[in-house]
Amino acid sequence: MTLEEFTAQLNSATFWKEFTYSETWFYPRPKDKVELADGIVLIGPLAYVYQLKERTDASDDPEVERRWFNNKVLGKATKQIRDSLRYLADNDSITLKNAQGHTVDVKGPELTDINKVVIFSATKALPADCWETQYYISRSAGFIHVLAANDYLGILDKLRVPNDIRLYFEYRQSVLPRLREQDTKVDEPDIMVAFLTEKDLPEPGSKKRLRSFVQDLDAFDLSPILGDLASHIVKRDDDNDYYRILIEFARSSRSVWREFKLRLVKSLDAARAGEAIKPFRFTWPENDCTYMVAAMDPDWPSSGPDGERMRMGALAMFTEAAKYDAKATKGIGLLISKDGQHVNLDWCLVDRVWEKDSRIETVLADGELFRPTTERKVDSFYFRGDQE
């Protein structure tokens, strides 16, 4: 597997196929075909622009490998990053096809947060100071992340959640120049530990603490359902809602995923057991979004035309009410219902400014629709021994 194939698969699994682009050729002029980048990830106004360099004609001479690194990684790859930024700036719209096979118009002026990333795969003969190169500063492109392929894999493998990966790259960009000023050298795992533990600066040798990092995938990982969200939606009126739901989860932290999955599992168990339980809801103020998860009342029809109407009506009502009660702008709802041996997952997105609505207030009047809520702080990352 080539570095390009490896990175494309890794990005598709982590950022989902809807936001990943590995085929980026386009025509800025009728007879002028160019490649926008080796890979791109686009999540709303957030972008990752990748250039990949893989050493294929390896030698055992460190100086030969150093020249390859300087010419291809720090030279050609960073120039290609600058070219990518120029293409985005010079074209109002670039039509690309994502890994899901959907055609999307990429509008460069709307990308307000662009991470520039060079990933390289080298040989053991590459000198240590080259391996230790973690970024490059361009006069026109600014800060460019430079990462060995195994370090990039480590970042995505540890963090898993797109928003946490965004925050990591933001943290990485802020601390590396400060470390250089102090002449302090750290490995990528040291940076990861500092990010996970909210340290002001990474410390050399702290990477050993990663051994106690708790990767509680069963508790938070929503990738299996979100990565295939389109096929889980029984009925949707607007394909754009499907992307917007994914974007809201992509903009949420691991703690939000964990809270959502906790409610999803409880609702799923209730639906399968035919138990009636109150809907769940919680709000993440940072994104001004309320999440609602409900198991459909087992006495309500769930199949056929009548069942579909009932499901859609219940989903809309619960989502609207949860959003309204929290005075949030956005609401994402999931209704789980049993249909024979199968389970339906119906999704809903409501996005509009909160305003007084007497109809919804009537629904909420008796205070019995939802469980009571309390405000609390939830952590995203855990280490063994923290609470002992």
Structure tokens of 137? 């500063």
Residues 208 and 227 in one domain: no
Mean pLDDT, residues 177-205: 97
Residue 43 has pLDDT above 60, yes or no: yes
Residues 198 and 51 in one domain: yes
Residues 23 and 61 in one domain: yes
Q: What is the pLDDT of residue 374?
A: 87
Structure tokens of 237? 């009126």
What is the distance between the alpha carbons of residues 117 and 137, in angstroms, rounded to a whole number?
Answer: 12
What is the distance between the alpha carbons of residues 175 and 95, in angstroms, rounded to a whole number?
Answer: 35
Residue 231 has pLDDT above 70, yes or no: no
Is residue 379 a part of any domain in this protein? no
Classified as helix, coil or strand, 106 is strand
Q: Which of 277, 363, 266, 264 is nearest to 322 (CA)?
A: 363
Report yes or no: 322 and 370 within 8 Å, Cβ to Cβ.
yes
Number of domains in the chain: 2
Report yes or no: 208 and 189 within 8 Å, Cβ to Cβ.
no
Q: What is the pLDDT of residue 237?
A: 52
Is residue 101 a part of any domain in this protein? yes
Residues 139 and 209 in one domain: yes
Residue 236 has pLDDT above 90, yes or no: no
pLDDT in tens, 83-96: 999 999 999 999 99
Mean pLDDT, residues 317-338: 96
Lowest mean pLDDT among 51-55, 165-169, 232-236, 359-363: 232-236
Percent of the chain residues topping a pLDDT of 70: 96
Q: What is the pLDDT of residue 235?
A: 47
Residue 357 has pLDDT above 80, yes or no: yes
Q: Which domain holds residue 269?
A: 219-364
Residue corresponding to tokens 């400014």: 353
Q: What is the pLDDT of residue 388?
A: 46
Mean pLDDT, residues 164-189: 98
Q: What is the pLDDT of residue 28?
A: 86
Q: What is the pLDDT of residue 229?
A: 74
Residues 149 and 165 in one domain: yes
Residues 48 and 130 in one domain: yes
Q: What is the pLDDT of residue 234?
A: 45
Is residue 47 a part of any domain in this protein? yes
CATH number at residue 87: 3.40.91
Q: What is the pLDDT of residue 386?
A: 66
Residues 205 and 245 in one domain: no
Is residue 307 a part of any domain in this protein? yes
Is residue 387 a part of any domain in this protein? no
Top pLDDT among 233 and 313 is at 313
Residue 387 has pLDDT above 80, yes or no: no
pLDDT in tens, 150-168: 999 999 999 999 999 999 9
Q: What is the pLDDT of residue 248?
A: 95
Mean pLDDT, residues 169-174: 98
Mean pLDDT, residues 67-80: 98
Residues 108 and 17 in one domain: yes
Is residue 373 a part of any domain in this protein? no
Is residue 180 a part of any domain in this protein? yes
Structure tokens of 258? 């964990």
Question: Which of these three, 215, 242, 265, is where a domain ends?
Answer: 215
Residue 239 has pLDDT above 60, yes or no: no
Question: Which of these three, 190, 215, 240, is where a domain ends?
Answer: 215
Residues sharing a CB contact under 8 Å with residue 252, sequence separation 6 or more, in sequence order:
161, 163, 284, 287, 289
Is residue 69 a part of any domain in this protein? yes
Mean pLDDT, residues 124-135: 97
Q: What is the DSSP letter of 18?
A: G
Percent of the chain residues topping a pLDDT of 90: 84
Mean pLDDT, residues 284-300: 95
Contacts 24+ apart (CB under 8 A), 210-218: 210/158, 212/383, 212/384, 212/385, 213/158, 213/381, 213/382, 213/383, 213/384, 214/381, 214/382, 214/383, 214/384, 215/158, 216/258, 216/382, 217/160
Residues 106 and 251 in one domain: no
Residues 173 and 266 in one domain: no
Residues 245 and 191 in one domain: no
Residues 109 and 241 in one domain: no
> Please, what is the Cα angle at 97 between 56 and 115, to 5 degrees?
65
The structure's pTM equals 0.94
